[in-house]
Structure formats: structure tokens, C-alpha cells
Amino acid sequence: MALKIRLSRGGAKKRPYYRIVIADARSPRDGRFIERVGSYNPMVPQDHPERLQLQTERIQHWLSNGAQPTDRVARFLANAGLIEAPKRFDQTKKSQPKEKAQERTRAREEAAAKAAEAAAQPAPAEAAEQPAEGA
């Protein structure tokens, strides 16, 4: 049985309140769960003590038994110092330029690097070494 530490939504419409529960991965989000181990109230200010409440010893017990936290719960647990912070991945690439724009940017950067390299080299001293004419 795959166990998850996840959020179960409660509260009224547009007034969310979440319970942090241990549940079988196959059970519905707001359905059956094994144990309630905390709560999360996003409606209160971030520095309020009732925003996030965790039963740390029970969470440690379930983590040692193989329960896997969801992404949001993993961030809560990392902030509480119970687990290592998860790596965050960019979920979309829509904000990045398209392939041709990236090629143009690379070409501009290469040209700028070549120009800087050429400017850094000393100019040849041809005029200074030529003998004067008509003397």
C-alpha cells in the first residue's frame, strides 16, 4: 500500500482549509485517510501561528514507514526542518524564447565575444617602424 502525506480540502466555497493527512495513494483527495497529522489555513497571515500546524513526531513516524509527501506538503515539511528541501523544476517552458530566437541570441553573444577578443589584442605598429620618405 503506497502511502501519501497530502492535503485534504475542507472549508466553504472560496474559504479553503486543508488538513494534512496520511492516506492511501488510491483513495480520493477528500476521502478516506489513515491519520490526520496537521492542518494548513491559507486564509490567515503567513506569520500567524495557526497557518500551519504539524504533529512532527507522527510525521517522522510515517516518513520512516515510507510515506511520500506531495510537492506542497514537502515544501511545508522542508520549511519546518523535517526533510530536505525538494528541488523545484520549471513546469512550463512558455516563458522561454523559441528556438530561432535562442539561436539569434547565441550568435549575438558569439559576435560580441569575438569583438571583445579583437579589441583586447594590441594593434600592429606598422606606422611607427616605417622609415621617413625623402630624407
Kindly list the domain boundaries of the chain, sorted by start residue.
3-79
Pair type for strands 15-24 and 68-69: unpaired
Pick the CATH number of 3-79 from 3.30.1320.10, 3.40.50.150, 3.30.479.30, 3.30.9.10: 3.30.1320.10
| C-beta neighbour count of 30 within 10 angstroms | 13
pLDDT at 123: 64
At 93 the pLDDT is 77
Stretches in the chain below the pLDDT threshold 70: 90, 123-135
What pLDDT is recorded for position 47?
Answer: 92
Contacts for 60 with CB less than 8 Å, ≥ 6 apart: 82
* pLDDT computed for residue 88 by the predictor: 75
